[in-house]
């Protein structure tokens, strides 16, 4: 489903901490109902950005517009938004039900209405009904995550903000919760704005991704478009494993300097450009296999990644990463192999 209506707009938004710009002139529109993820390494400014959106930090300059209305100075508790923190910030002296009902209690809602809303949300986030009176200190990590989600939804916010809420959860449970978060976004129709440093989380969950670096958004788009066509070497490497081949000029034109192979037709590249190949685009060729570009290498090692197998192969001092076709047995370490790719699978990156 394509979402086009804007709910939240940022216009030249910046945050200055004593002369250090943590966020620099960020402008973007977040669409109603989408799951929008902000990714970036530590120190990229993503946490500061989401705290400004949630009303926990005041922008140094620029504007935040909610459905066209400026909300820079509106305190967090008066915005139609909720925040799920990395620590979850649950009240350990309360039961599951009391935690979920907290915002409604502050509003002075009727007890029966509060309980009905809490039970409705417990069902939505897949918490058993008999957990209502259970202490949150007796809940598992995944259960506490679900309590935090239900509490954030209790006040019926327009937007939910998430500050790396799955980072402290074990891998298997995190995979389950990633899918449940995406399902919850669809079921509720709420706008989710999510920050993470995990490429995998962003790729699994997001409608769109904004990649941040040094306080700026360096690329914005749908997950596959960013993965397949990164705007820079930084984005290419941040968004997954990658093979990068440098381009240089020799007496006959532009060549791949690691392979001394002339560039193929249609590749727009100048000296200093990088040619990017994802591992699944660099193939181990069978005998008599064909590709636009082929070269010999030596298998170094293979790595089973669930349903996929990655192969690391060396050519002189260069390491290449290839994803083997399903069912293809990996070569033995030290075995000579032939690698290949087609020009249509390569992306020129201009930095």
| Residue 208: per-residue pLDDT | 97
If asked whether residues 101 and 116 sit together in one domain, one would say: yes
84 falls within a domain: yes
258 falls within a domain: yes
If asked whether residues 227 and 99 sit together in one domain, one would say: yes
Count of CA atoms in the C-beta half-sphere (13 A) of 19 = 0
220 falls within a domain: yes
Beta-carbon neighbour count of residue 46 at 10 Å? 27
If asked whether residues 80 and 215 sit together in one domain, one would say: yes
1 falls within a domain: no
Phi/psi at 309 (nearest 5 deg)?
-125, 125
H/E segment holding residue 52: helix 46-54
If asked whether residues 57 and 169 sit together in one domain, one would say: yes
Domain boundary residue, one of 182, 203, 237: 237
Q: Is 289 exposed, middle or buried (0-12, 13-18, 19+ CB in 10 A)?
A: exposed
141-154 and 171-188 helices cross at what angle (nearest 10)?
20
If asked whether residues 92 and 193 sit together in one domain, one would say: yes
Domain boundary residue, one of 184, 205, 237: 237
| Residue 3: per-residue pLDDT | 61
Query: Bridge-partner residues for 84, per DSSP?
Result: 162
If asked whether residues 124 and 199 sit together in one domain, one would say: yes
Instruction: Please give the tally of structural domains in the chain.
Output: 2
CATH code of 294's domain: 2.40.50.140
If asked whether residues 29 and 95 sit together in one domain, one would say: yes
Question: What is the Cα–Cα distance from 49 to 59, expressed in whole angstroms?
Answer: 9
If asked whether residues 11 and 102 sit together in one domain, one would say: yes
Token pair 């209405």 is found at 113
If asked whether residues 94 and 228 sit together in one domain, one would say: yes
H/E segment holding residue 120: helix 111-124
| Residue 2: per-residue pLDDT | 54
Full residue range of the structural domain in which residue 213 is found:
6-237
89 falls within a domain: yes
If asked whether residues 232 and 268 sit together in one domain, one would say: no
Q: Which residues of 214-232 are buried (b: 16+ CB within 10 A; e: fewer)?
A: ebebbbbeebeebbeebbb
Which tokens is 284 given?
């181990």
| Residue 121: per-residue pLDDT | 93
If asked whether residues 12 and 53 sit together in one domain, one would say: yes
- 0.85 exceeded by pTM: yes
Domain boundary residue, one of 237, 258, 283: 237
CATH code of 214's domain: 3.40.50.300
- Block mean pLDDT (10 aa), the chain, length 351: 81 95 96 96 93 95 97 93 86 92 87 92 93 93 89 92 82 85 93 90 93 96 93 91 89 80 79 90 91 94 89 94 88 95 90 70
If asked whether residues 229 and 324 sit together in one domain, one would say: no
Question: What is the Cα–Cα distance from 256 to 39, expressed in whole angstroms?
Answer: 31
| Residue 198: per-residue pLDDT | 84
Instruction: Reduce the DSSP state of residue 175 to 3 states and report it.
Output: helix
């Amino acid at each position: 489903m394509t979402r086009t209506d804007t709910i939240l707009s940022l216009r030249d938004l910046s945050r200055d901490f004593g002369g250090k710009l943590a966020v620099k002139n960020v402008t973007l529109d977040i669409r109603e109902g989408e799951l929008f993820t902000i990714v970036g390494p530590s120190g990229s400014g993503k946490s500061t950005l989401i705290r400004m959106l949630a009303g926990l930090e005041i922008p140094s300059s620029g504007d935040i517009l909610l459905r066209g209305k400026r909300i820079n100075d509106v305190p967090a508790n008066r915005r139609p938004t909720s925040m799920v923190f990395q620590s979850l910030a649950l009240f350990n002296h309360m039961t599951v039900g009391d935690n979920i009902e907290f915002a409604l209690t502050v509003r002075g809602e009727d007890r029966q209405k509060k309980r009905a809303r809490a039970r409705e949300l417990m069902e939505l986030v897949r918490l058993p009904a008999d957990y209502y009176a259970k202490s949150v200190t007796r809940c598992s990590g995944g259960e506490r995550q679900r309590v935090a989600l239900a509490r954030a939804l209790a006040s019926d916010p327009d937007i939910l903000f998430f500050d790396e809420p799955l980072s402290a959860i074990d891998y298997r449970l995190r995979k389950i919760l990633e899918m449940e978060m995406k399902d919850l976004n669809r079921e509720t129709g709420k706008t989710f704005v999510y920050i993470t440093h995990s490429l995998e989380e962003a790729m699994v969950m997001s409608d769109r991704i904004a990649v941040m670096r040094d306080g700026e958004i360096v690329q914005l788009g749908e997950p596959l478009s960013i993965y397949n066509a990164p705007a820079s070497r930084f984005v290419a490497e941040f968004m997954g494993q990658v093979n990068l081949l440098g381009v240089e000029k020799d007496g006959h034109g532009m060549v791949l300097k690691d392979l001394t192979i002339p560039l193929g037709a249609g590749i727009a590249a100048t000296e200093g450009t990088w040619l990017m190949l994802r591992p699944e685009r660099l193939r181990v060729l069978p005998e008599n296999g064909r590709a636009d570009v082929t070269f010999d290498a030596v298998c170094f090692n293979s790595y089973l990644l669930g349903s996929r197998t990655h192969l690391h192969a060396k050519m002189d001092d260069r390491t290449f990463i290839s994803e083997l076709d399903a069912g293809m047995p990996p070569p033995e370490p030290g075995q000579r192999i032939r690698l290949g790719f087609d020009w249509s699978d390569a992306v020129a990156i201009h930095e």
